[in-house]
Amino acid sequence: MSINKNTEFSFLESLRNDFRLDLIGDDCAVLPRSEDTDLLATTDTLVEGIDFRLEWAVPELLGKKALAVSVSDVYAMGGSPEYALSVISVSKNLWKDDFASRLMTGMIEYAKSVGVQIAGGDISETRSDASVTVTVLGSAPRQLAVPRSGALEGDHIYVNGTLGGAGAGLKLLESGARIDNSDPGIRNLIQKQLAPEPSPLAINRHLVDAMIDISDGLVADLDHICTASGVGAELFAEMIPIEPDIERTGFDRGKALEFALRGGEDFRLLLTSPSDDLENIPGSELKRIGRILSKSEKLSIVEEGVRSSLNRKGFEHFS
Amino acid sequence: MSINKNTEFSFLESLRNDFRLDLIGDDCAVLPRSEDTDLLATTDTLVEGIDFRLEWAVPELLGKKALAVSVSDVYAMGGSPEYALSVISVSKNLWKDDFASRLMTGMIEYAKSVGVQIAGGDISETRSDASVTVTVLGSAPRQLAVPRSGALEGDHIYVNGTLGGAGAGLKLLESGARIDNSDPGIRNLIQKQLAPEPSPLAINRHLVDAMIDISDGLVADLDHICTASGVGAELFAEMIPIEPDIERTGFDRGKALEFALRGGEDFRLLLTSPSDDLENIPGSELKRIGRILSKSEKLSIVEEGVRSSLNRKGFEHFS
């Protein structure tokens, strides 16, 4: 992860173009495995001071999150995670504490709960900030992994859970609140930031044209789908399932929508489908939130009948 | 990697025992892939200040080494590396330089030379030290990956190249020498430290009982084989192929042997076989350097007819 996703994106794009690394550019690399199965592979890192802070980290939850963000990438291809390899880098001081073993305990417990086996890893000393890097391997039926590039004009856009909780949780942590707060709503939002729980696709993959997980934020990740697919899109503000605890804990509606659009790290699935009634599939948890448009349409959001263009930096009302 | 391999080893062992992580404990995890192939997976990290220093790092060579150490793990199972995922963490200052792109350029060029495709990755900002973490996926014929645990009493011990060069190169770097030194011997040793080149097993795997790559050092890695296999071992000092440039550049014979035994990072294959004439197989580059003994025999080295016990810390002459 990076606080400058734009730069990372450009760098990876330039690498791909320069070196014809055709495998790069989706949530997971899709590699040949057997006659009927593809291998999915993805790796992510969480760095102290950038992705987490020791002052509020709970080592067990950090271990869970480090694995969850890569499990989420496998779910985002419609795949099943199977194995994980983890690299932990810690200072001598943290090593003397039980930070690393608590982190691994949290990772292993979460791994069991999602059917992942920890298959290997490495532990290193650092002179300074800690980090944890996890590679997850999974599988998908051959040539049926769901890319981010398949969205078609007219598709409906869905998300499989509430949004904004992780961003609001981060804001609360930055304001001094902690996971042991007495308010259950605040605890819930902080939990969503510290230990997100991605859910797999619970409907038939043939109903889905394109999919990505929401790590950078709804707008940024929808933009990734649009760029990869060569399409535009519109969101319907009133239909976005904003995490209810955000307003309950004192944020106003505008701030709550902003967390949902740009907070990031909710690790929900964002998908497009020609079907307009996926919400009715029991257990899917899907909410319809927008529509795929033609390439000529810029990303926009419609709220109370007013359309505003969405860019990755902020709002811009049509004049 | 860690400057405290003992601690890392104990931690991984304790994790394995506590959580029954049967997949951990060899150079690679061996995972089911298809009817006739197993998937090999390994991950390693290089951390600034621990595994490399910016004052002497050449970014392209660092990218090569970061991949090579994991390719070496795949070779150590008798496997073929196929794919790599890399995570680079750099500070804003290094990002402004072309450090990351030079590193990736070196990694990608080396990847091509060993038949590996870069399949994905992540780039993160850090507030402090840089690091590069690489996961390599490879394959081996089903159930024919060579473990470190298969050594049998009476086996002969072989290594597939010279030893000590990487350790001597590190010493030279610490003394102020650099890769552009005018002495070709010094350049060669520094090159071995900055950009090791592992070679795959060039003989039939059925001739090999146990194998590991020499990352921690000949003694430490032979100890890993002995512990995993439940055997002892003896080394013959005069038969160890010490990198000739070590003495040529001014180190004495005792120091050269010490680099070969404990310098580490040579990334040669260390293997055991019932056959005593593998040296004669063309292209194998194998040198016979010792013998596997019964479990009751401690690790020892014979030099000029005198046997000394070897422990992971140093020599101890038999009285």
Residues A183-194 have pLDDT tens digits of 999 999 999 999
Distances from the Cα of B199 to the Cα of A313, B29, B139, B189, B284, angstroms:
49, 20, 16, 17, 10
> What is the amino acid identity at position A306?
V
Q: DSSP letter at A252?
A: -
What local confidence, expressed as pLDDT, does residue A4 receive? Answer: 45
What local confidence, expressed as pLDDT, does residue B229 receive? Answer: 96
Return the SS3 of A293.
strand
Question: pLDDT tens for residues B238-293?
Answer: 999 999 999 999 999 999 999 999 999 999 999 999 999 999 999 899 999 999 99
Question: pLDDT tens for residues A198-224?
Answer: 999 999 999 999 999 999 999 999 999
Distance CA A303, CA A293 (A): 17
Is the pLDDT reported for residue B187 higher than 80? Answer: yes
Phi, psi (5° rounding) for residue A226? -65, -45
Question: pLDDT tens for residues A285-296?
Answer: 999 999 999 999
Please answer yes or no on whether B49 and A8 come within 8 Å at the CB atom: no
Closest chain A residue to the Cα of B34, Cα to Cα: A34
What local confidence, expressed as pLDDT, does residue A19 receive? Answer: 56
Considering only CB atoms, which chain A residues are within 8 Å of B2? 122-125
Which of these ranges, A239-253, A305-319, B119-133, has the smallest mean pLDDT?
A: A305-319
N-to-C CA span, chain B? 36
Helix (H) and strand (E) counts for chain A? 9, 13
Considering only CB atoms, which chain A residues are within 8 Å of B127? 48-50, 128-129
Question: pLDDT tens for residues B13-32?
Answer: 666 555 555 566 788 999 98
CA distance A117 to chain B (A): 8
Return the SS3 of A209.
coil
Q: ipTM value of the model?
A: 0.90
pLDDT > 90 in chain A, percent = 82
Output the six-digit token pair for B204. 């039939």
Residue B66 contacts by C-beta under 8 Å, 6 or more apart in sequence?
Answer: B44, B46, B86, B103, B107, B132, B133, B134
What local confidence, expressed as pLDDT, does residue B123 receive? Answer: 84
CA distance A225 to chain B (A): 18
Considering only CB atoms, which chain A residues are within 8 Å of B100? 11
Output the six-digit token pair for B148. 């470190």
Considering only CB atoms, which chain B residues are within 8 Å of A127? 48-50, 128-129
Considering only CB atoms, which chain B residues are within 8 Å of A50? 124-127
Output the six-digit token pair for B44. 């390693």
N-to-C CA span, chain A? 36
Longest dimension (CA), chain B: 60
Are B263 and B217 within 8 A, CB to CB? yes
Considering only CB atoms, which chain B residues are within 8 Å of A44? 87, 122
Distance CA A50, CA B182 (A): 42
Please answer yes or no on whether B43 and A7 come within 8 Å at the CB atom: no
Please answer yes or no on whether B108 and A137 come within 8 Å at the CB atom: no
What local confidence, expressed as pLDDT, does residue A98 receive? Answer: 87
Please answer yes or no on whether A41 and B15 come within 8 Å at the CB atom: no
Question: pLDDT tens for residues B70-112?
Answer: 999 999 999 999 999 999 999 988 888 889 989 999 999 999 9
Considering only CB atoms, which chain B residues are within 8 Å of A3? 125
Closest chain B residue to the Cα of A46, Cα to Cα: B124
Is the pLDDT reported for residue A2 higher than 50? Answer: no
Are A270 and A159 within 8 A, CB to CB? yes
Distance CA A138, CA B303 (A): 51
Is the pLDDT reported for residue A109 higher than 60? Answer: yes
Are B268 and B198 within 8 A, CB to CB? yes
Residue A10 contacts by C-beta under 8 Å, 6 or more apart in sequence?
Answer: none
Are A96 and A20 within 8 A, CB to CB? no
What local confidence, expressed as pLDDT, does residue A191 receive? Answer: 98
CA distance A192 to chain B (A): 22
Q: If you search the block for the tokens 């009634």, which residue do you land on?
A: A277
Distance CA B60, CA B75 (A): 22
What local confidence, expressed as pLDDT, does residue B13 receive? Answer: 61
* Cβ neighbours, 10 Å, residue A115: 11
What local confidence, expressed as pLDDT, does residue A26 receive? Answer: 85
Please answer yes or no on whether B127 and A39 come within 8 Å at the CB atom: no
Q: Between A253-262 and A165-174, two packed helices, what is the crossing angle to 10 degrees?
A: 110
Three-class SS of chain B: CCCCHHHHHHHHHHHHHHHCCCCCCCCCEEEECCCCEEEEEEEEEEEECCCECCCCCCHHHHHHHHHHHHHHHHHCCCCEEEEEEEEEEECHHHHHCCHHHHHHHHHHHHHHHCCCEEEEEEEEECCCCCEEEEEEEEEEECCCCCCCCCCCCCCEEEECCCECHHHHHHHHHHCCCCCCCCCHHHHHHHHHHHCCCCCCCCCCHHHCCEEEECCCCHHHHHHHHHHHHCCEEEEEHHHCCECHHHHHCCCCHHHHHHHHHHCCCCCCEEEEECCCCHHHCCCCCCEEEEEEECCCCCCEEEECCEEEEECCCCEEECC
What local confidence, expressed as pLDDT, does residue B1 receive? Answer: 37
Are A73 and A42 within 8 A, CB to CB? yes
- Please give the residue that has the higher pLDDT: either A256 or B125: A256
pLDDT range class, residue B2, cuts 50, 70, 90: very low
What local confidence, expressed as pLDDT, does residue B96 receive? Answer: 82
Please answer yes or no on whether A24 and B119 come within 8 Å at the CB atom: yes
pLDDT range class, residue B149, cuts 50, 70, 90: very high
Task: Classify residue A109 as exposed, middle or buried by CB count within 10 Å of its CB (0-12, 13-18, 19+).
Answer: middle
Considering only CB atoms, which chain B residues are within 8 Å of A47? 89, 124-126
CA distance B61 to chain A (A): 18
pLDDT > 70 in chain A, percent = 90
Please answer yes or no on whether A118 and B19 come within 8 Å at the CB atom: yes
What average pLDDT does range A56-61 have in this prediction?
Answer: 97
CA distance B116 to chain A (A): 11
What local confidence, expressed as pLDDT, does residue B86 receive? Answer: 94
Q: DSSP letter at A276?
A: S
Q: DSSP letter at A52?
A: B
Mean pLDDT computed over every residue of chain B:
91
Is the pLDDT reported for residue A6 higher than 60? Answer: no
Output the six-digit token pair for B276. 């005593």
pLDDT range class, residue A103, cuts 50, 70, 90: very high
Is the pLDDT reported for residue A113 higher than 50? Answer: yes
Q: Which residues pair with A123 in a beta bridge?
A: A88
What local confidence, expressed as pLDDT, does residue A312 receive? Answer: 62
Choose among A49, A108, A119: nearest Cβ to B41: A119
Closest chain A residue to the Cα of B38, Cα to Cα: A33
Output the six-digit token pair for B156. 């002969």
Is the pLDDT reported for residue A246 higher than 80? Answer: yes
What local confidence, expressed as pLDDT, does residue A122 receive? Answer: 82
What average pLDDT does range B210-214 have in this prediction?
Answer: 97
pLDDT range class, residue A15, cuts 50, 70, 90: low
Return the SS3 of A176.
coil
Mean pLDDT computed over every residue of chain A:
91
Please answer yes or no on whether A49 and B127 come within 8 Å at the CB atom: yes
What average pLDDT does range B210-219 have in this prediction?
Answer: 96
Distance CA B169, CA B145 (A): 32
What local confidence, expressed as pLDDT, does residue B317 receive? Answer: 47
Please answer yes or no on whether B29 and A124 come within 8 Å at the CB atom: no
What local confidence, expressed as pLDDT, does residue B98 receive? Answer: 87
Closest chain A residue to the Cα of B47, Cα to Cα: A126
Q: Give the CA dihedral A234, A239, A244, A250, nearest 10 degrees.
A: 60
Output the six-digit token pair for B163. 């030893």
Is the pLDDT reported for residue A5 higher than 60? Answer: no
> What is the amino acid identity at position A316?
E
Output the six-digit token pair for B31. 């995972």
pLDDT range class, residue B313, cuts 50, 70, 90: low
